[in-house]
Amino acid sequence: MTDTTAPDTTAPHTSTSDSSTPGTTPPATSTAVVPETPTPMHSPLHDEHVALGATLTPFAGWLMPLRYSSDLAEHQAVRQAAGLFDLSHMGEIRVSGPQAGAALDHALVGNLTAVGVGRARYTMLCAEDGSVIDDLVVYRTGEEDFLVVANASNAAVVLAELAQRSTRFEVTIGDESEHTALVAVQGPRAQEIVTSITAPDDVDAVARLKYYTGLEATVAGIDALVARTGYTGEDGYELFVPATEATTLWRALLKAGEPHGLVPAGLSARDSLRLEAGMPLYGNELDRTTTPHDAGLGRVVKLDKAEADGAPLPFVGRAALEARDASQPSRVLVGLQGLGRRAARHGFPVVRSTDRLDLVVGQVTSGAPSPTLGFPIAMAYVTPEVSGVGTELAVDVRGRAEPVRVVGLPFYRRPQ
């Protein structure tokens, strides 16, 4: 038995088809890649994972849980009840000072000064050529205070870029990654679970949090930034706490969640959940060869952001992204539903039809058998002519064509 998953030749036992999960070959063109260090960093929850019997895997310089018992069981628990994730490998960068918002408006493609205190925004850090250096969630935690959350693999580059792009602003940039633990509770039972261990004075506010908002609250006796965000397609929370408090919070959530069906969940489930939800993954759908528009995320580029006098606000990548916004795309990110049983995986060629393996019309960025839907799903960049929903294409799965159909994204939407 030999592992043949496409992009991976180095880590057969933890092989995956993407880069937010382990064993990935990052794009060769990316400068935003941190090489695997010989001794990976440990999450503040490392001992908890070991005690729970997790399969650990090197990922972006960290040793993180791939799964605790079963990928499928963890995936289903998040869809039906709740899952508990350790995301302490993510980077947390504090941007504060009188010009914090202005500095971020210049550094990022979004309009961060327009984000109210207590709100979060999905945005991107782009290069001058418009390509994506990282996708980010930015929380406005105060009038002059923002928390930028970066992918682990890009955290160092994001920190360096923010510092370099902010030199003419009155702003302080601090890397809080090492001292911050991030734990996510995701799933339909998340609210019951988190509020059950929230301080009485904070329960209503935490329960009423809307999607992409956050607040300071006391959970399990710990002062936490509690945000209603996630990467699974389910309702849920992400809790930022001091690394020293991570174990207390983790254990309290496991205990409170157990009667609700909560289980600890690893990176494997996280990846299959986000794929079903049609969410892009840096290193797969996004990299230094893609613009936000390529990924269907042109809306995050705020070309209308303006200076006080109404002049267009200059931000890094503006000229390239304006040009991209005005032009026809050369490729389109689509969803593919597999009509056979063999799954398309990251890097596989998309071809025009099952009998034309030679006629390549695109490339798969992420793919897996969907645990929730029961058939293979994939995201792929294809040429615009074949991007219409319903178009029948095929994927070259290790030399044999598997029929697929273009479908709308996301593949899965949670019941309202």
User: What does the binding site for other proteins look like in residue numbers (CB under 8 A)?
Assistant: 1-5, 8, 12-17, 21, 55, 66-67, 70-73, 75, 268, 271-272, 341-343, 345, 368-369, 371, 398
Taking the least distance from each CB to other proteins, the nearer of 26 and 91 is: 26
| Minimum CB distance to other proteins, residue 341 (Å) | 5
List the structure tokens of 329: 């795309």
Give the Cα-Cα-Cα angle 260, 54, 88 (nearest 5 degrees).
Answer: 80
Nearer of residues 53 and 388 to other proteins, judged by Cβ: 53
Nearest distance from C-beta of residue 90 to other proteins, angstroms:
21
- Residue closer to other proteins, measured from CB, 270 or 288: 270
Rounded to a whole number of angstroms, the minimum distance from the CB of residue 372 to other proteins is 11
**254 exposed, middle or buried (CB, 10 Å; 0-12, 13-18, 19+)?**
middle
Nearer to other proteins, 101 or 349 (CB): 349
Q: Three-state DSSP class for 254?
A: helix
Alpha-carbon distance values, 17 to 7, 284, 302 (Å): 7, 9, 32
Q: Two tokens at 207?
A: 């329960």
- Alpha-carbon distance of 274 to 341, in angstroms, equals 20
Q: Please name which of 379, 381, 384 lies closest in space to residue 279, comparing C-alpha atoms.
A: 379
- C-alpha–C-alpha distance, residues 201 and 217, integer Å: 9
What is the DSSP code (8-state) at residue 213?
B
Nearer to other proteins, 22 or 292 (CB): 22
Q: Which amino acid is at 26?
A: P
- Please, what is the minimum distance in Å from the beta carbon of residue 84 to other proteins? 19
Q: What is the residue type of 292?
A: P
Nearer to other proteins, 17 or 180 (CB): 17
Query: DSSP code of 98?
Result: T
**Please, which residue, 76 or 131, has the CB nearer to other proteins?**
76
Could you tell me if 414 and 233 are in contact, meaning their C-beta atoms sit under 8 angstroms apart?
A: yes
Q: Which residues contact 240 (CB under 8 A, 6 or more apart)?
A: 92, 147, 180, 181, 182, 224, 225, 227
